[in-house]
Every structure is written in structure tokens, then in C-alpha cells.
């Protein structure tokens, strides 16, 4: 379904979170992290989350190989194709770091996207971070808890 997937997100002076597809295996990694994010989620799940087996009860930033189900692969592919493939190539890209920095290069079966940003991001960027947390079954992708 995905031929290439590289996603990186970094906060100023903080860690970098990444999700990369290498040799048909998904890897969630963190760099420069001085304290592991480890959060127990205690909330009522939405009916749609229950139907789609997307209930997240725990979020962490421990590096790991991720094994998404075929259902989760299809849902992420569909979301990216429908809502993200038209992102601009650059969102206020600058050479110095005084805000969030992110970058992605993704090739799906019938779409490609390459985009990056510094401080600015497309309107649905936070939604994508949430989708990645669901896709990875609870991996952390940024400063806000979603």
C-alpha cells in the first residue's frame, strides 16, 4: 500500500518524533528525547472509535517497531490521499529553529506527497498527528495531547 513513508516532527529544543517505513517494516523513533512521554488516557471512547478498533488507552514515546493492521493501513492511506496529498511543498520553511519543524515524504499506491514546514502547517496537520497516533496504536507525535 505504501512504497515510501517518512514523517518527522520536532519541537524547538526538543525531541524529534518520526515514523519511517524501511524494508516493509514500520519504525517509530525518537531523537534527543530527555524524558519519555508516558500517558494513560482515561476518557469515554467515541462510537466510531469503537467500531473501527481505534481506541487508544495509552500514549508513549518509546521507540518501537509498529505493526499496523491492514485496516489501519487502508484508513491512513485513504486519509492521506483524500485530505493531505494537495499540501503545499513548503510552509514558511526557514533555516533557523524557533518553532515546530516537520517534514514528510510519502508514496502511496496512487499518490505522492512531499511537504515540510517551520512554525506553519496545513489546517489539518493536528488531525494528521492524531491519525498517526491511532495508526501506531498510541505513539506520541508532538507537544499537544489529542
Indicate the range of 15-19, 43-47, 82-86, 109-113 predicted with least confidence: 43-47
| pLDDT value at 30 more than 80 | yes
Q: The domain spanning residue 10 has which CATH number?
A: 3.30.1560
Q: Is 107 helix (H, G, I), strand (E, B) or coil?
A: strand
Q: Is residue 145 part of a domain?
A: no
Residue 142 lies in a domain: no
Q: What mean pLDDT value characterizes the chain? A: 85
Query: Does residue 143 fall inside a structural domain?
Result: no
Tell me the three cell numbers of residue 65: 517497531
pLDDT tier for residue 35 given thresholds of 50, 70 and 90 = confident
pTM, full prediction: 0.85
Residue 25 lies in a domain: yes
Domain count, the chain: 1
The H-assigned helical ranges of the chain are 47-51, 70-79, 125-135
Could you list the residue range(s) of the whole structural domain that residue 121 is in? 2-135
With cell 506553519, the residue in question is 120
Q: What is the pLDDT of residues 80-133, one digit of tens each?
A: 999 999 999 998 766 665 778 899 999 999 999 999 998 889 999 999 998 999
Amino acid at each position: 500500500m505504501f512504497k515510501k513513508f517518512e514523517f518527522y516532527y520536532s519541537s524547538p529544543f526538543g525531541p524529534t518524533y518520526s515514523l519511517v517505513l524501511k524494508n516493509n517494516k514500520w519504525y517509530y523513533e525518537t531523537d534527543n528525547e530527555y524524558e519519555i512521554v508516558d500517558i494513560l488516557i482515561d476518557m469515554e471512547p467515541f462510537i466510531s472509535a469503537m467500531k473501527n478498533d481505534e481506541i487508544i488507552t495509552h500514549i508513549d514515546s518509546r521507540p518501537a517497531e509498529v505493526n499496523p493492521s491492514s485496516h489501519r493501513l487502508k484508513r491512513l492511506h485513504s486519509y492521506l490521499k483524500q485530505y493531505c496529498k494537495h499540501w503545499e511543498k513548503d510552509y514558511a520553511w526557514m533555516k533557523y529553529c524557533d518553532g515546530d519543524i516537520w517534514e514528510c515524504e510519502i508514496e502511496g499506491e496512487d499518490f505522492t506527497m512531499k511537504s515540510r514546514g517551520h512554525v506553519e502547517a496545513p489546517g489539518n496537520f493536528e488531525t494528521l498527528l492524531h491519525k498517526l497516533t491511532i495508526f501506531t496504536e498510541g505513539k506520541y507525535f508532538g507537544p499537544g495531547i489529542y
